[in-house]
Structure 1
Amino acid sequence: MTKKTYNGAKNSKERSMQKLVEAVGTIIRTQGYTGLNALNIGKTAGVNRGLINLYFGSLDNLVEVYVRGKDYWVAAAGNAGELMEEKRDQHTREILESLLVNQLNYFYKEDEMQKIVLWQLSQRSKIMYEVAEEREKLGEAFFNLADPYFENTDVDLRAVAGLLVGGIYYMVLHAKANDSLFCQIDVNSENGLERIKKAISAILTDTYKRAENAKT
């Protein structure tokens, strides 16, 4: 008969590590990045805060483990990745519109991603730099597909997309923080969100038309 191996200590360590990782997410959602200290994390996880250094080496390493496991930008992209595969030889306007609308929907609903973007804007850090780089990789994949359409035109699709993404972030963060109108639009209403989506579509349609006209 094979003797069973005792895994109590191992399982206890894994449970404690998981609690600490989950506590990071809880604090980001409820307090933002300013609440990420060892005392808060240990208390939220219900374990000794000294385990952070013991198991992860440092507080920064623990936060990095959590953030790296989230894939915020992939989730925010929705089905855009599939569209890039399906329509790689076709018009790319639909792909970009899908990317932006999916991002608006996801960002509006996900408190955690809102806190992550605020963190990126408020504090320079290695973790947030790398998160931003992951976002840029997704953008690079799209722009590589779109570039041939805009070749030999003066239409700057990257600048247009940048303004739209920045507008999405700011309008949502403003609405969530102040619950007030922005340019007389109630972003916290279904009608307000639909107005923004229609504006995104109209801007992209005009942008692609300008490129088409420049080539004729």
Structure 2
Amino acid sequence: MTAGLFPRARAEVAPGAVHVPGWLSAARQRELVEACRDWAQGPVPFRHTRLPRGGVMSVRTVCLGWHWQPYRYTRTADDVNGAPVAELPGWLVVLGREALADAYGEQAPAGAPTGEPYTPDTALINFYDGDARMGMHQDKDERSGAPVVSLSIGDTCLFRFGNTDNRGKPYTDVELASGDLFVFGGASRFAYHGVPKVHPGTADPALGLTGRLNITLRETGLDG
């Protein structure tokens, strides 16, 4: 754990994959924690997603805009309670646009939105307790190649960002702390990535959160 010892500089981890430490202010982090608590109450609550082969994910997830279930998006949570998914609020779309602009500036990678503004229509919110993990995977259920915007709040995690060919090496390990922004698009849009470890108790107590929240914003490219 080095975040408290040395200044953390923004870095391009791979072409189109940018880490911006401390992007969210403390006040905005607290606002997002409260918003996530509201979303967790429903209409579709946080749940451990069950995979087609019977496995159960250790993270708990709630979705906005579109409901993700392996491996498709729907407007209703047919694998939970059948309720319509909560709407994605406009202020979260604006936050995603701001994040993309700050990460890429004028050097947007191939595959990033051009002409039309970045307009995420879904958010996946994952909650990690100290034992939760996320295996190496690709975000490939979307029809759009627009970048993924990822926001971290709470406990620091080890984030593993890999290649587009397989789950193994080469990959780069990055510590994502509370308030960090990570954007991946262009050549890295379909890179494998995962969270092999969370460091419990590393969040600022003033945040009022035990564990880690990860909010990812995406354009699905879906209609209806």
TM-score tier (shorter): under 0.3
Richer in strand (by share): 2
Query: Rg bigger for which structure?
Result: 1
Q: Normalised by the size of structure 2, how large is the TM-score?
A: 0.24
Q: Normalised by the size of structure 1, how large is the TM-score?
A: 0.25
